[in-house]
Structures are given as C-alpha cells and as structure tokens.
C-alpha cells in the first residue's frame, strides 16, 4: 500500500511539472495586462493579414474580417473558403474568447473605486507621518539630553541589532526555500515512472 501512495505522489508531481511548464507562461501573460493587450492586438493583426493573404482580400477587408470574427459577431460578409483560412479563423476565435475577457477583467478591476481601501491608505499615511514626527522629536530630545556622540553610538547599536535580526530572518527564509525547492533532475523519476 505504501508503494502505491508513493507512486501516486510521484505521478502527481510529474503531472504538476508538466502542467507548470505550460501554466507559468500563461500565468505570466494573464498577470501582465499591458503585455496581454499587445498579444491580443498582435494575434488580431497577424490573423487578419494572414486571412487577407490566404483569401486574396485587401488589408482593410482582412482587418474587418478580424474584428468581426475575433469578436464572434460573424456578419458573414467575409468568410474563409480555404482550409488554411478556416484554421486561421479558428485560432483567432479561440484566442479572442480566452484572452479578451481576461483583458476586460483587468480594465474593470482598475476602474472600480474602493472607498474603504482609500480610507485605510489615508489613515496609514497619517500614521506614518506621525511616527516620523515622533521619531524626529525623540532623536532631537535625546541629542539635546545626552549629546550627538552618545546618540550616534545608540543608533549604531540599534542598526547592528536590526541587521542581526534581518540575517536570522533571511536564513530562515533560505531554509524554507531550500526545503520547498523542486527536486533536482537526478532525483526525478523517468517519464514512464520508477523502474
């Protein structure tokens, strides 16, 4: 039974690696709105001009066909008669059905105005400004009370303690990253599973 569990775990890891190979670039494209818009426009223009070349149409007719086909309106005034032209149309339709709604989602997300988030951001800015003023006043008071040399020594001690804490935190992050890192190629099973 334990062998079956490890075989299943190994198969899941192999599938996750294969899906990740495709999913990472797609995830990167979906999360980069400017690049997404450029890709959508690029697909539209390339498919439109390819259609125009394959079907002996002019560039304006090709662009019109691209708009009508990519938007899935399909007036029927222009349509591909060749198999290659239909393949270009299929690529255009599928890519627009997948990518355009994602681009529209980015636009809508940027148009939505969240009053609560703005209020929280305003309060945080005020808190940061007050903390900065308190820090400035405290440092000025300590300098007046103990002198500049004493204050610089305390600040240097504080920075050293901060740096030591940061180093420990970075070591912990490196340890977790190392523990969760994907296995190396030497320890991976061959494509057919373990033999």
- The pLDDT tens digits of the residues spanning 93-136 come to 999 998 999 888 888 887 877 778 778 888 999 999 999 999 99
Domains of the chain with CATH codes: 32-111 (1.10.287.70), 115-182 (no CATH)
pTM: 0.50
Residue 75 has φ and ψ, to the nearest 5°, of -65, -30
Residue 84, pLDDT above cutoff 70? yes
Alpha-carbon span 141 to 151, nearest angstrom: 10
- Quickly state the pLDDT bin for 186 (edges 50, 70, 90): very low
**Coil, strand or helix: which one is 91?**
helix
């Amino acid at each position: 039974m334990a062998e079956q569990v490890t075989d299943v775990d190994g198969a899941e890891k192999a599938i996750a690696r294969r899906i990740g190979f495709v999913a990472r670039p797609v995830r990167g494209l979906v999360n980069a709105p400017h690049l997404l818009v450029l890709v959508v426009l690029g697909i539209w223009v390339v498919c439109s001009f390819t259609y125009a070349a394959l079907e002996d149409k002019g560039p304006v007719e090709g662009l019109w066909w691209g708009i009508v086909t990519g938007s899935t309106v399909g007036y029927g005034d222009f349509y591909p008669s060749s198999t290659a032209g239909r393949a270009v149309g299929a690529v255009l339709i599928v890519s627009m059905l997948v990518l355009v709604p994602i681009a529209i989602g980015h636009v809508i997300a940027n148009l939505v105005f969240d009053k609560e988030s703005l209020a929280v951001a305003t309060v945080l800015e005020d808190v940061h400004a007050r903390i900065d003023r308190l820090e400035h006043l405290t440092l000025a008071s300590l300098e007046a009370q103990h002198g500049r040399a004493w204050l610089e020594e305390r600040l240097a001690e504080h920075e050293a303690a901060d740096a030591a804490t940061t180093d420990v935190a970075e070591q912990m992050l490196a340890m977790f990253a190392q523990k969760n890192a994907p296995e190396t190629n030497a320890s991976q099973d061959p494509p057919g599973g373990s033999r």
